[in-house]
A and B are shown apart, each in its own frame.
Chain A
């Protein structure tokens, strides 16, 4: 590896001073009265937005930064773009960096698109002559046409964004920093943006990208950095980092649901469910499974008062409350004998053919007449994935069989 990295972050931390420490922005009067005029200088207190991040991005490489909101993704991009300075560590960028953080930021509404493009291009580091030279390309790519000489206050929001993107990409940066901008604009323009990003990748531009569109991340980026509360969790190939992030999100949602669901649990406590889990064939708890995989619902219980009249039940619902499936031991013909001590009961699905999406699970133990010993709604949430986003809630194994050569089968 003789070529130097396009971007190198070493032990980078960023701390924001707490501006609202007293609940309000600083006032000059207050500062004078308290003799705290230079208070803003002190940076050892405040909010740690990013801590100890190391990352190298090679020329021509695209790295995605993923993580939940507030995990420091945008802060990291701004550090690379040079908008912010790190509180600790070093950020080295080789070459011209362009930030696509907000398209058309700083356009002046009263002046023409052409003049705005010139100002924006110069802000991105071109000389006036260079911008003028590339202006035809900007106009062409943005598809704004004759409107280029109208004041931008007359533009639609789509035109505004297209012009902003066009200016930013004709700059041909060595390092491009992109913050969630491909989510804006129509489908056609999004495709053109992706095309242009692919071109830049081929030309050797290093790209650092923040996106919540995990599909896009896997499509565009080779590697990904997963941030959580400002700290790096994992850096590696985009596919595996995205998978890790997805499973964390699914288990968190399930965790929240288990807590939130406590209020929706009732019963006289004669029998108590100690745990309800979705498990795989080897008995490990699952939060996520593929369509058609085998899975089982395992209920662990403790009996306070031995029972001879009892039914175990399980129901699967969609988040909107619609019932997908429900059964209980009585419906399936099992007769109760005697329940005492503690034990487990498992409901097995050899093939759980649910459509991809998120599901909630209810579990209960009650008498035949319906007296609840322990009834837990939404005790568990899980996510079903599938290679295709089939709509609905049921996705059985299926095959198309056209007669004659009217269609070709999917590749791979």
Chain B
């Protein structure tokens, strides 16, 4: 058996060869999603804004959060929500993407890795489309003197790249496993819900009062990823070397494991979907 690295390279090389098809399919996905919906772009913002509103209301008025933050709480929340919605949205789509494209896999010669890639990239586009709202909010808060506008935001592409690598690996794994295990989607839903609350999104790591809980949250592989993102995009501080390293390791492990699982199951996809 070839080593996993070569196989993950295989997926990337195949996607690069078919970059034309992938980009056309991403455009098709976006067109299909927004066609016929008035103000389609605003719809894609509705979900994060709605969540933002609900959580802000709950943790400001109902259960005032004891989160000591140098930035307004809604901005902190929004910064965490955006990458989280990227990962959860992508993975939930990943669980059905190969089944939905079954006719193409079975009736037309199509490389299966194309479809998870399209899922990741179209969700990345949604993410990028939502970013201006966050940046505008930050600019507004900075203008009002509530915070300093973080210069570290120039490192956003690096933080985002880590997310894309991690999400890409998870998507490959979920997509190929979901072909064989049809109940993966239900399981995934629960796992994502649990992980959401174990990730410092609605709270910051510093505000957890119980040391044991801090440890649990730190073990969550999404924690370093989201902390790098929050530090760079909102907090205006450079993550420590340890934090960077943790995030890079998580991203690479997710990618390698995902690409390995996908490569092992790849041949069985067309005959199983």
Binding site for B on A (CB under 8 A): 16-17, 19, 25-29, 31, 40-41, 78, 81-85, 97, 99, 101-102, 105-106, 108, 110-111, 115, 118-120, 122-125, 127-128, 151
B16 to chain A, nearest CB (A): 14
Known: A102-B107, A108-B32. 5 other contacts (CB 8 A): A26-B180, A40-B265, A99-B108, A110-B36, A123-B21
Contact status B32-A82, CB under 8 Å:
no
CA distance A111 to B34 in the complex (A): 10
* Least CB distance, B117 to chain A, in whole angstroms: 14
Q: A99-B109, A123-B104 known; A128 and B28 CB under 8 Å?
A: no
The answer, among B24, B110, B183, B272, for a CB contact under 8 Å with A118, is B24
The answer on a CB contact under 8 Å between A111 and B35 is yes
Residue B38 at the chain A interface, CB threshold 8 Å: no
Interface string of B16-29 (1 = CB under 8 A from A): 00001100110010
**Residues 1 to 58 of chain B near chain A (Cβ within 8 Å):** 20-21, 24-25, 28, 31-32, 35-36
Known: A26-B181, A28-B181, A105-B107. A119 touches B24 (CB 8 A): yes
Which residues of chain B in 222-252 are interfacial with respect to chain A, using CB atoms and an 8 Å cutoff? none
Contacts of B104 in A (CB 8 A): 105-106, 123
The verdict on A41 contacting B32 (CB below 8 Å), with A97-B109, A101-B108, A120-B108 known, is no
**A85 CA to B271 CA in the complex, in Å?**
9
Q: Which residue of B has the minimal Cβ distance to A106?
A: B104
| Contact partner, B108, options A84, A85, A124, A151, Cβ 8 Å | A124
* A31 engages B181 (CB within 8 Å): yes
Q: How far is the CB of B36 from chain A (nearest CB, A)?
A: 7
Alpha-carbon separation in the docked complex, A120 to B264 (Å): 27
Whole-angstrom distance between the alpha carbons of A122 and B104 in the complex?
Answer: 12
Query: Measured between alpha carbons, how far is A84 from B109 in the docked complex, in Å?
Result: 9
Taking the closest CB of chain A, its distance from the CB of B122, in whole angstroms, is 13
Q: Are B108 and A119 in contact (CB under 8 A)?
A: no
Judge if B206 is at the interface, Cβ distance under 8 Å: no
Residues of chain B lying within 8 A (CB to CB) of residue A123: 21, 104, 108-110
Contacts of A25 in B (CB 8 A): 182
**Complex Cα–Cα for A403 and B214 (A):** 106
Chain B: CB-nearest residue to A102: B107
- Contact flags (1/0) for B245-273 with A, using CB distance below 8 Å? 00000000000000000001101101110
Query: Which of A19, A105, A120: most chain B CB closer than 10 A?
Result: A105
In the bound complex, how far is the Cα of B26 from the Cα of A119, in angstroms? 11
Considering only CB atoms and an 8 Å cut-off, how many residues of chain B contact the other chain?
32
Of A16, A41, A83, A108, the residue contacting B105 (CB under 8 A) is A83
B187 interface neighbour in A28, A83, A105, Cβ under 8 Å: A28
A-B contacts, 10 of them at CB < 8 A, read: A26-B180, A26-B181, A27-B182, A99-B108, A102-B103, A106-B103, A106-B104, A115-B31, A119-B25, A127-B20
Given contacts A25-B182, A151-B35, contact A83 B20 (CB under 8 A): no
Nearest CB of chain A from residue B24's CB, rounded to whole Å: 6
- Determine the distance from Cα of A99 to Cα of B108 in the docked complex, in whole angstroms: 6
Q: CB of B177 within 8 A of chain A? A: yes
Chain B residue contacts of A101, Cβ below 8 A: 106-108
Judged by a CB distance under 8 angstroms, whether B101 is at the interface is: yes
Point out which of B187, B264, B268 has the most chain A C-beta atoms below 10 A from its C-beta: B268
Alpha-carbon gap, A101 to B177, bound state (A): 26
A99 to B110 Cα, complex, angstroms: 11
Sorted from nearest, which 5 A-B pairs have the closest CB atoms?
A28-B181, A105-B107, A106-B104, A102-B107, A110-B32
Residue contact A99 to B107, C-beta cutoff 8 Å: yes
B184 on interface, CB distance cutoff 8 Å: yes
Measured in the bound complex, the distance between the Cα atoms of B21 and A118 in whole Å is 9
Question: Is the CB–CB distance between A40 and B180 below 8 Å?
Answer: yes
A151 neighbours in B (Cβ, 8 Å): 35
Which residue of chain A has the shortest Cβ distance to B31 in the bound complex?
A: A111
- Inside 8 A of A127's CB, which chain B residues have their CB? 20
- Closest chain-B Cβ to A344's Cβ sits at a distance in Å of 55
Question: By the criterion CB–CB under 8 Å, are B270 and A83 in contact?
Answer: yes
Contact B182 A111 (CB under 8 A): no
Contact of A122 with B20 at beta-carbon distance under 8 Å, contacts A16-B271, A17-B268, A83-B106 already known: yes
CA distance A111 to B108 in the complex (A): 19
Whole-angstrom distance between the alpha carbons of A123 and B110 in the complex? 6
The chain A residue sitting closest to B32, CB to CB, is A110
Give the CA-CA distance A41 to B25 in the complex, in Å. Answer: 30
What are the residues of chain A within 8 A of B108 when measuring CB–CB? 83, 99, 101, 105-106, 120, 123-124
Contact with A along B120-144 (1 / 0, CB 8 A): 0000000000000000000000000
Asked if B32 and A26 make an inter-chain contact with CB atoms under 8 angstroms apart, the answer reads: no
- Give Cα distance in the complex from A41 to B181, angstroms: 13
Complex contacts, B272 vs chain A, CB 8 Å: 19, 40
Known: A16-B271, A84-B270, A119-B25. A28 touches B183 (CB 8 A): yes
Residues of B within 8 Å of A41, CB to CB, are 264
| Residue among B105, B109, B180, B183 with most chain A CB within 10 A | B109
Give the chain B neighbours of A128 by CB distance below 8 A. 20, 24
Name, among B35, B105, B183, B264, the residue most crowded by chain A CB atoms within 10 Å (CB to CB): B183
Chain B stretch 193-216: residues in CB contact (< 8 A) with chain A: none
Distance in angstroms between the alpha carbons of A28 and B177 in the assembled complex = 9
Instruction: Give chain A residues whose Cβ lies under 8 Å from the Cβ of B25.
Output: 119
- Chain A residues contacting B36 (CB-CB under 8 Å) are 110
Q: Is the CB of A111 within 8 A of B32?
A: yes
Q: Which chain A residues lie closer than 8 Å to B20 at the CB level?
A: 122, 127-128
A106:B109 contact, CB within 8 angstroms: no
Across the two chains, which residue of chain A brings its CB closest to B104? A106
**Closest beta carbon of chain A to B10's beta carbon, Å:** 15
Chain A residue at minimal CB-CB distance from B33: A110
In whole angstroms, what is the CA distance A395 to B109 when docked? 49
Name A97's closest neighbour in chain B (CB-CB).
Answer: B109
Counting chain A CB atoms within 10 Å of each CB, the highest count among B25, B35, B108, B270 belongs to: B108
